[in-house]
Amino acid sequence: MSLRLQDVSKISNGETHIFPTDIELQKGTMNVLLGPTSSGKTSLMRLMAGLDKPDTGKIYWEEQDVTNQRVQDRDIAMVYQQFVNYPAMTVYENIASPLKLQKKCAADIDAKVREMAELLQLTSILDRKPNEISGGQQQRCAMARALAKDVGLVLMDEPLANLDYKLREELRIEIPRLFEASGSIFVYATTEPEEALLLGGNTATLWEGRVTQVAPAMDVYRNPVDEITARVYSDPPMNFVSVKKQGAFVHFPNGQSAKAHDDLASLPDGAYRAGFRAHHIALGDNLAGAITFDAQLIVTELTGSDTFVHLDTMDERWIGLVSGLQAFEVGQMLKVCLSPDNIFYFDKDNELVFSPHSEPEMSRA
């Protein structure tokens, strides 16, 4: 079982929503579409579902061309962020509705409904109608109905966004277990890098209608093929600073240098962009072997246990994540440091040339 998009694109009102894309998804895989709002995740899922037809290219299901096949004739289920339920039916009847259309026997329908209800914590409200339950419960009802169908392709467009934190975390753990048991192809769209890592499987990063990389989630996170992918797979987006590599050293614009070890030392001399994530910035100047910067604080954001610090340094804007609730004054100068061991390097074409992590095979879309 596979879903293959070959040179697929989508244009609407003269605006390209999806640039020519090739991607193949295999049976029993979790596939996360990761990108910011308006990056093309929903547009790509609609093409996969058959809700929209591509302007170029073909879509194949189990090597059969289904490009022009109606959505109701495809083996799919779809869950949206904005839930849809049948208002005149109870929660039980909503979940059971696709199984009745499949002409399942009553015992099998009842067993499946109760299995989905237990998974999504709906057992106590099976006899209620959608207007009698909360928005989060309505969303879970819509998810249960889609998952109960046991179809080959399940498309989930930010389905947990409207749920409370505790339930969202529980379902992030349960969904991968569910897909493994079903053997279906799961496609899950999210704007959150952390969610993509938690779900695991494969990640396809999207930016302005382009799929920039497709690979196992941890590979994309540790070895993003270019600056754009690195920004997409960092929350907040990866920080950057321009540097020069000369001989055995990398020189930073504040006059400090770092020793170029390992594969970094073999790079040609020249200009590069150094990238690092927010949690790699530390306060102070007492970290052994670190590069220290003077930075002006622009604003702080308290997360409850940590603090995001927005910094202005060397004509760059950075965001750091520091431990604890920090009481800073806006505009004050801070000493911040960065270990060279946590730095990615990108060339003039914005492509990754050095990662601080071990480097598995990378796949550019």
Tell me the C-alpha distance between 208 and 88, whole Å.
Answer: 40
Res 335 pLDDT > 70: yes
Judgement on whether residues 42 and 108 belong to the same structural domain of the protein = yes
Q: Is position 69 within any domain?
A: yes
| Helix spans in 248-351 (H) | 262-265
Tell me the C-alpha distance between 353 and 272, whole Å.
Answer: 9
> Tell me: the pLDDT tens digits for 72-123?
888 898 887 777 789 999 999 999 999 998 899 999 999 999 999 998 889 9
Judgement on whether residues 196 and 238 belong to the same structural domain of the protein = no
Res 291 pLDDT > 90: yes
Which residues partner with 77 through β-bridges? 154
The CATH number for 123's domain is 3.40.50.300
Least confident window among 37-51, 111-125, 167-181: 167-181
Tell me the C-alpha distance between 126 and 132, whole Å.
Answer: 11
The CATH number for 236's domain is 2.40.50.140
Least confident window among 14-28, 53-67, 350-364: 350-364
Judgement on whether residues 248 and 182 belong to the same structural domain of the protein = no
Domain closes at, from 177, 195, 227: 227
Judgement on whether residues 53 and 160 belong to the same structural domain of the protein = yes
Judgement on whether residues 189 and 233 belong to the same structural domain of the protein = no
Domain closes at, from 209, 227, 245: 227
Give burial (CB, 10 Å; 0-12/13-18/19+) of 229: buried
Judgement on whether residues 91 and 173 belong to the same structural domain of the protein = yes
Judgement on whether residues 232 and 219 belong to the same structural domain of the protein = no
Tell me the C-alpha distance between 255 and 284, whole Å.
Answer: 18
Judgement on whether residues 111 and 242 belong to the same structural domain of the protein = no
Q: In whole angstroms, what separates CA 352 from the centre of its chain? A: 19
Domain closes at, from 194, 212, 227: 227
Q: Is position 33 within any domain?
A: yes
Is residue 186 within 8 Å of 329, Cβ to Cβ? Answer: no
Q: Is position 365 within any domain?
A: no
Judgement on whether residues 75 and 99 belong to the same structural domain of the protein = yes
Which residues partner with 216 through β-bridges? 202
What predicted TM-score, i.e. pTM, was given to this entire model? 0.88
Q: Is position 362 within any domain?
A: no
- State the pLDDT confidence band at 49, using cuts at 50, 70 and 90: very high
Tell me the C-alpha distance between 40 and 204, whole Å.
Answer: 11
- State the pLDDT confidence band at 358, using cuts at 50, 70 and 90: low
Res 282 pLDDT > 80: yes
Judgement on whether residues 201 and 248 belong to the same structural domain of the protein = no
pLDDT for the residue 271: 97
Judgement on whether residues 139 and 275 belong to the same structural domain of the protein = no
Q: Is position 68 within any domain?
A: yes
Average pLDDT, the chain: 91
pLDDT for the residue 360: 41
What average pLDDT does the segment 184-196 reach? 93
What average pLDDT does the segment 180-188 reach? 83
pLDDT for the residue 361: 40
Domain that holds residue 29: 2-227
Cα dihedral 293/294/299/300 (nearest 10): 50
Q: Take residue 161 and report the two structure tokens written for it.
A: 């966004």
C-alpha atoms less than 13 angstroms from C-alpha of 223 in its C-beta half-sphere: 15
Residues 82, 85, 90, CA angle at the centre, nearest 5°? Answer: 145
What average pLDDT does the segment 176-183 reach? 73
Per-residue HEC secondary structure of 186-232 comes to EEEEECCHHHHHHHCCEEEEEECCEEEEEEEHHHHHHCCCEHHHHHH
pLDDT for the residue 363: 43
Is residue 41 within 8 Å of 33, Cβ to Cβ? Answer: yes
Q: Is position 359 within any domain?
A: no
> Tell me: the pLDDT tens digits for 293-329?
999 999 999 887 899 999 999 889 999 998 888 888 9
Judgement on whether residues 259 and 218 belong to the same structural domain of the protein = no
**How many structural domains are present in the chain?**
2
